[in-house]
């Protein structure tokens, strides 16, 4: 991030991607979030949004956090707010935690605020009747996967686009996902894995095979895209996932 943007956003310098931020002087684990936000470099307004949310999160100021998340979602729409405001702050707080072992409470509060805002910004009725007869898109986390924010963002973005979806949430057991596919007449399923522990893809091949065939799309750093069953596609971003899930 450039100096001006740093100044405005009150954020720390970037850590290289994937590397923890080194503790600084007597302020080891100082109260800023290392944000790696290319969009923020280009756009001072975006930097202010990212910085505002990061500062509110570190101050555990729930009202300011809610305001920051809500206004990003309303002003920019779900996909842009997720990619350019929420993801940089979430990744930043993850780095902060990795570097210090602290800030778990900030992760929890930020997750709670982001979840609530995503759920309320695009309620299920926003999707309307959608594609009659095609059934919904199912969204689920892999078994034992607790990181559900990305599928909440996807659910909100699909609702915003008028696409019917069913959000099954965190830690969905394989038999429950299979039953949901049959019961809901789903045509497409998206499964999120955040960490390698939940990224075993072998079970995906055993999902029900309705007619027309079920489309299976996965996303998240937990999967190895080279080791997916044939016919399963990998989405690397929210917008790639939206494209894959909305293709007729
Ligand atoms: C919020 C959070 C939590 C919350 C989750 C709440 C919730 N309801 O989701 C809570 C506090 C519960 C939690 C728990 C844990 N967490 Co956690 N968590 C996070 C945090 C900060 C954000 C997670 C997230 O939403 N990521 C999604 C986006 C923001 O990040 P990303 O996946 O890296 O994004 C990239 C791509 O995936 C893509 N992308 C972004 N968004 C989207 C959306 C879609 C649809 C697609 C397709 C792609 C895409 O673009 C990005 C750039 O390439 C991350 C930090 C991080 N970097 O992710 C840690 C992190 C994932 N957690 C971590 C850990 C260790 C844990 C725990 C094991 C901690 C513990 N000891 O209990 C547990 C795991 C429990 C479990 N079994 O699942 C580690 C994982 C390390 C690893 N690689 O294995 C991380 C990386 C933090 C860290 N640096 O240490 N966590």
For 39, list phi and psi in degrees, rounded to 5: -65, -35
Residue 135 CA to ligand 1 center (angstroms) comes to 30
Is the pTM higher than 0.75? The answer reads yes
Most informative mutation of 19, 80, 116, 147 for ligand 1 (most atoms within 8 A of CB): 147
Strands (E) in 35-192, as ranges, are: 137-141, 165-169, 188-192
Range list of β-strands (E), the chain: 137-141, 165-169, 188-192, 215-219, 232-235
pLDDT for res 211: 77
Q: 130 alpha carbon to ligand 1 midpoint, in Å?
A: 31
Which atom of ligand 1 has the smallest separation from the CA of 196?
A: 84
Domains of the chain from N-terminus onward: 3-121 (no CATH), 124-246 (3.40.50.280)
Interval 215-237: pLDDT, tens: 999 999 999 999 999 999 999 99
The pLDDT tens digits along the chain (248 residues) read 333 333 333 333 333 333 333 333 323 345 777 776 555 455 888 899 999 999 999 999 999 999 999 999 999 999 999 999 999 999 999 999 999 999 999 999 999 999 999 999 977 676 654 455 678 999 999 999 999 999 999 999 999 999 999 999 999 999 999 999 999 999 999 999 999 999 999 999 999 887 788 999 999 999 999 999 999 999 999 999 999 998 87
Using the mean position of ligand 1's atoms as its centre, give its distance from the Cα of residue 150 in Å. Answer: 9
- How does DSSP classify residue 183? H
Using alpha carbons only, give the angle 237, 190, 135 rounded to the nearest 5 degrees: 125
Distance 53 CA to ligand 1 centre (A): 18
As a whole number of angstroms, the distance between CA 40 and CA 61 comes to 22
């Amino acid at each position: 991030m450039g100096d001006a943007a740093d100044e405005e956003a009150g954020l720390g310098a970037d850590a290289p991607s994937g590397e923890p931020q080194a503790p600084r002087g007597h302020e080891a684990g100082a109260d800023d979030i290392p944000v790696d936000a290319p969009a923020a470099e280009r756009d001072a307004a975006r930097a202010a949004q990212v910085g505002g949310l990061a500062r509110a999160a570190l101050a555990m100021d729930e009202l300011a956090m809610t305001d920051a998340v809500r206004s990003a979602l309303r002003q920019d729409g779900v996909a842009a707010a997720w990619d350019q405001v929420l993801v940089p702050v979430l990744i930043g707080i993850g780095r902060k935690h990795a570097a210090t072992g602290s800030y778990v409470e900030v992760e929890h509060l930020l997750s709670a605020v982001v979840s609530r805002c995503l759920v309320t910004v695009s309620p299920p009725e926003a999707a309307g009747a959608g594609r009659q007869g095609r059934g919904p898109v199912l969204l689920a986390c892999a078994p034992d996967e607790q990181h559900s924010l990305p599928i909440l963002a996807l659910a909100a973005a699909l609702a915003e686009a008028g696409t019917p979806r069913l959000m099954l949430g965190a830690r969905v057991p394989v038999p429950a996902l299979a039953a949901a596919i049959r019961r809901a007449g789903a045509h497409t399923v998206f499964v999120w894995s955040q960490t390698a522990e939940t990224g075993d893809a072998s079970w995906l091949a055993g999902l029900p095979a309705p007619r027309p065939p079920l489309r299976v799309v996965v996303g998240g750093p937990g999967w190895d895209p080279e080791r997916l069953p044939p016919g399963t596609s990998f989405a690397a971003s929210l917008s790639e996932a939206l494209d894959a899930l909305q293709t007729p």
